[in-house]
Amino acid sequence: MSQPLLSLCIPTCNRAELLEPLLENIARESAPFLDRLEIVVSDNASTDHTEAVVKASRLPIIYGKNASNLGFGNNLLNVTAKLASGHYVWVISDDDIVLPGGIARIMDSISAAPHVSYHYVNFGWIGPSLRSRLIRQAKPAIPEFLLKNLQCDSREWLHLSQLEELVFLPGKNPSALFSGTFCFVTRRQFFVDALNWLKPSASVDGSSVLVDDCFPHAMLTVPRVAGQPIAYIGEPCMLQCVGAWEWKAYANKNMIFGIHQFFRWLEGQGFGAEGMQRLWSSYYDMAGRLFARMQCFPEENKGFDIVMHEAIPDAASRPAFWNAFMNESKLCIEADHEAEGLARLVREFVGTCPNARIGLWGIQGRGYSFLRKSPDLHANMVWVTDKEEVFHGDALEYADLKVSPPESISSAKIDCLVIATRRTFINDVIDTVSTTLAPGTTIISVDGLAYVEEKT
């Protein structure tokens, strides 16, 4: 092969179990393009069987293994600037999933706009369990609900006259547009040039306060294409897996502090003023919500002192921050208080029926807090569900159960159903289960106790 058009780059470390199905996923999607595409893996000194997984793959992989762990940023530069050789690079994480046609859409975009240096890749999100099921399917049927929750709403291919137009596209959170390594395809030369000035550390746990560690991929691309035309690939090409991160405890710190540092730096790099204002406006809303979660769940979050040093003092002068903080705090406090009430009622019920089989409806908000606050009740829990299909099949964080579809309640044979939803949904759930559960089954919700009545 002459110089590849595209290098698909995967930095990895000790995640062989996640990498193996990704390589098979890529093998299916890349087959028509291997004459123009190379696959590159940079192993950051793994001690598991990552090397064996790479060697066993049917892909022609360019593989390099670092003698020691270089940290995230340096491994990123290694896989792109040193191992890869393509005109363009696309970096994806070892726990993500490439959607059917994803690579084809990227190759088509490069062909349609060969003069641009940056192709934004729209994306969505997926949980670890659902990812593990879908990624191994030869022809995965991606549920439509996964494709309704995307970073940007538009699913069209667009030629934008300048990068800054991207931040005005309708979407979930513009301040997070550049946070992922996977959300753009760009010229490899940008990574090569960054070898001369980007100075990431060997940090691997997410605790670093260096902007070069938090968002090195954004630093070496966004200023280079500010004010220039870009392509936007609206039909999503991949799904980011959320929740399988070793640095999960620092995730909110990185979004609050890391993005704050990056935006402060970006202000002096020629990014358009109106676009910058839009990013900051979105940031203050996001920071308020995430800081509220850090306050409400301190045992799950690290880096509180880091965000308090600079990011929060700046954000606290903005009304958008406080509006978001108060709204999110209200939701968290209400859910926490009501979860305490649910746990008390369930303990009273189990006190009279020690072998009772407990079911839980709803794993977000109140349900999540209920599970977190009631480890003494987990032994009685036999079934859990949520109306959101995205969670079906996921393993719970605080109990040894997987989320089942609601219709499976008929085979669960539960004695008590805990409804951990908002009040507005309680009656809907009761109506749904009343024809399925045995008469006399206890129902516990924030409205108190109820019982399934005899069917007439």
Model pLDDT, residue 73 = 95
Per-residue pLDDT reduced to its tens digit, 387-415: 888 788 888 877 788 899 999 998 999 99
Query: Which range is least confidently modeled, 160-164, 269-273, 346-350, 362-366?
Result: 362-366
Q: What is the mean pLDDT of the chain?
A: 93
Question: What pLDDT does 271 receive?
Answer: 97
Largest CA distance in the chain: 78
pTM score, two decimals?
A: 0.90
Q: Interior CA angle at 424 toward 419 and 426, to 5°?
A: 25
What confidence score (pLDDT) does residue 144 get? 85
The confidence band for 1, taking pLDDT boundaries of 50, 70 and 90, is low
Answer left, alpha or beta for residue 160, where phi above 0 means left and psi between -120 and 50 means alpha. Answer: beta
In three-state secondary structure terms, 211 is helix
Q: Which residue has the tokens 């003069």?
A: 115
Check pLDDT > 70 for residue 43.
Answer: yes
Residue 2: pLDDT band (50, 70, 90) is: confident
pLDDT bin (cut points 50, 70, 90) of residue 127 is: confident
Is the separation of the CB atoms in 455 and 439 below 8 Å?
yes
The one-letter code for the residue type at 377 is L
- For residue range 420-431, list pLDDT tens digits in order: 998 899 999 999
Structure tokens at 452: 């399934």
- What pLDDT sits at residue 27? 97
Mean pLDDT throughout 297-301? Answer: 90
Closest of 244, 239, 251, 204 to residue 13, by C-alpha: 204
State the pairing for strand pair 157-160/88-91. unpaired
Per-residue model confidence (pLDDT) at position 145: 85
What's the average model confidence in pLDDT over 338-364? 94
Phi, psi (degrees; rounded to nearest 5) at 84: -75, 160
* pLDDT at residue 283 in the model: 97
Who contacts 100 (Cβ-Cβ below 8 Å, separation ≥6)?
A: 29, 139, 140, 142
pLDDT tens track for 241-294: 987 667 789 999 999 999 999 999 999 999 999 999 999 999 999 999 999 999
Query: What HEC string does 24-49 produce?
Result: HHHHHHHHHHCCCEEEEEEECCCCCC
Residue keyed to tokens 């600037």 = 81
Six-digit token string for 126: 């997926």
